[in-house]
Amino acid sequence: MDGSLRKQIGVVATWVLTFLVMIVICLPGLWVVLTAFRPNGEVLAKPPVWIPENPGLANFAKIFGYGADQVAIPVPAYFANSLIIALTSTAIALLIGMSGGYAFARYRFKGKSGYFVGLMLFRAVPGVALSLPLFIVFARVGIIDTHFGLILAYVAMNVPFTIWLTDGFFRQIPKELHEAAEIDGCTRWQAFWRVEFPVARSGVA
């Protein structure tokens, strides 16, 4: 067997093995999707029914409150809450994190390395470890079961990560760009907003 044929067989074997592994990985997700379109009788059937015999949208109608059989789950309210909390916390974390990342990338100040390492160590703490302390603090402050409490927690967890990301992007932008902009008459803010931010916009996004 020559080398080229052996190489082709290796490539084919790799693709086949990858395909089989991906099938195994995707099976749970496929099962969840198929379950959404089948009645309960088929969901609980033994042996399991892989291909729905009577697919439909009855399960979605129940969840959203349509039809005779309804499930007492306020999905629209849950979705609205998630949308409000996600968008607000992302916007705030992005503004704070982008400002912090730019400051770490462009300015020199006392304790800069220590502050940065501290932020990264805070990010390394798992969220589960912070759940009980956050619950106690939020209970005493009175912000449990509020949008503000969740937004505050998400912002605190995401700001260090955002600072770390944007710091790397701003470090890749040459300092000569904002120096040239300032020479041409831009203020520090104008140099950032009109010159440096458009360059780092893809990374921020």
Calculate the CA 86 to chain-centre distance. Answer: 10
- DSSP letter string, 98-120: HHHHHHHHH---TTHHHHHHHHH
Cis check: omega of the bond before 47, within 30 degrees of 0 = yes
What's residue 38's pLDDT? 85
**Class of residue 92 by CB neighbours under 10 A (exposed 0-12, middle 13-18, buried 19+):** middle
What's residue 92's pLDDT? 94
The amino acid at 90: T
Tokens of 181: 């902009």
Task: List the chain pLDDT tens, one digit each, 205 residues.
Answer: 566 778 888 888 999 999 999 999 998 888 888 888 888 778 778 887 778 887 888 778 777 777 666 666 777 788 899 999 999 999 999 999 888 888 888 888 888 888 888 888 877 888 788 888 889 999 999 998 899 999 999 998 888 888 888 888 888 888 888 788 888 888 878 887 888 888 877 777 7
Distances (CA, A) of 34 to 46, 52, 75: 16, 7, 20
- Cα separation, 95 vs 60, in Å, equals 37
Q: What is the DSSP letter of 74?
A: -
Does the pTM exceed 0.75? no
What's residue 68's pLDDT? 65
